Amino acid sequence: MTKKVYEALNWASSFLTEHKRDANAGEILLQHVLNMSRSELLANLHLQLTEQQQEQWVEKVRKHAQGVPIQHMIGTEDFYGKTFRVNPHVLIPRPETEELVWHALNGIKQYFPKNEPLTMADIGTGSGIIAITMKLEQPDLTVYAVDLSEKALETAKANGESLQADVNWLHGDLLQPLIEAGIQLDILLSNPPYIPLTDKVELSTVVVDHEPHLALFGGEDGLDLYRRFCEQLPQVLKDRAIVGFEVGVGQGEAVQQLLQQAFSQASVRIEYDINGKDRMVFLQM
């Protein structure tokens, strides 16, 4: 006997809570299976599911209980008001990264007030969220996006096409493709891998078993990528430039020090997210 929507949601809520997963996941997955918005779903609580709908949905709920991210099953995640495709080759967009973009857009307005032509790069672009969002919000920017993973770049390119964002996609390691092409930057943004390898055991299976390790881990202390950035940045930054990094909670001061050592004349500040955590470091030359 198939369930009505409200019965199905009640079952999913208790089943997922038992498995220490988000109780609301059942609702998101049911919206996807029924192709309904949240308000449509709530207006149809007494709708009887067909056998096929119920089977499809129960399978997804069980998979999420085992640790498969919801975003991998529905194939998308929203970021800065746009919908991006995601898959196991890219990091699932996080709300903290929206704050990095917001601060960067504000910084550009304050630091480059003359509407001059500016060049920006997003390093370790993943699904392309930073590069694409910056281009859509600031259409006069020339935007480059770099990733070491070809599979990630394929995903980013597909997102760029579907959202009609004109981004230059480059395959390579950190700043190497920009250095080789002689590209000079006004703005550099990055959400690099920053999780210390020692934290691997504490991570949720949803993250550690299903998201790309290349995009998660930053060496023993999580700071390897920032050290490499500090070596390469002088080769690509113009005399007047902004750099914005996302960092792990508690890494703000360490990353601030690395940047200050590399650029003694620059101003380097830590920005806190809406939860009061040190999640971003910005440098202004």
Asked whether the CA dihedral 16, 80, 83, 129 is positive or negative, the reply is negative
Residue 78 annotated as binding site: no
The mean predicted confidence, pLDDT, of the chain is: 89
Residue 127 annotated as binding site: yes
Residue 192 annotated as binding site: yes
> Per residue in 142-182, pLDDT tens?
999 999 899 999 999 999 999 999 999 999 999 999 999 99
* pLDDT score, position 127: 94
Model confidence at 8, pLDDT cuts 50, 70, 90, reads very high
Highest CATH level, class, for 88-284: alpha beta
Asked whether the CA dihedral 271, 177, 264, 142 is positive or negative, the reply is negative
> Per residue in 23-55, pLDDT tens?
889 999 999 999 999 999 999 999 999 999 999
Residue 264 annotated as binding site: no
Residue 182 annotated as binding site: no
> Per residue in 220-239, pLDDT tens?
566 888 888 889 999 999 99
Q: Residue 251: helix, strand or coil by DSSP?
A: coil
> Per residue in 68-92, pLDDT tens?
889 989 999 999 999 999 998 898 8
Q: Number of helices (H) and strands (E) in the chain: give both, helices first.
A: 12, 9
* pLDDT score, position 200: 57
Residue 190 annotated as binding site: no
Q: At residue 201, does pLDDT exceed 60?
A: no
End-to-end CA distance of the chain: 66
Residue 128 annotated as binding site: yes
Q: What is the pTM of this model?
A: 0.88
Domain spans, the chain = 5-66, 88-284
Residue 173 annotated as binding site: no
Residue 2 annotated as binding site: no
Q: Is 180 exposed, middle or buried (0-12, 13-18, 19+ CB in 10 A)?
A: exposed
Residue 193 annotated as binding site: yes
Q: Residue 236: helix, strand or coil by DSSP?
A: coil
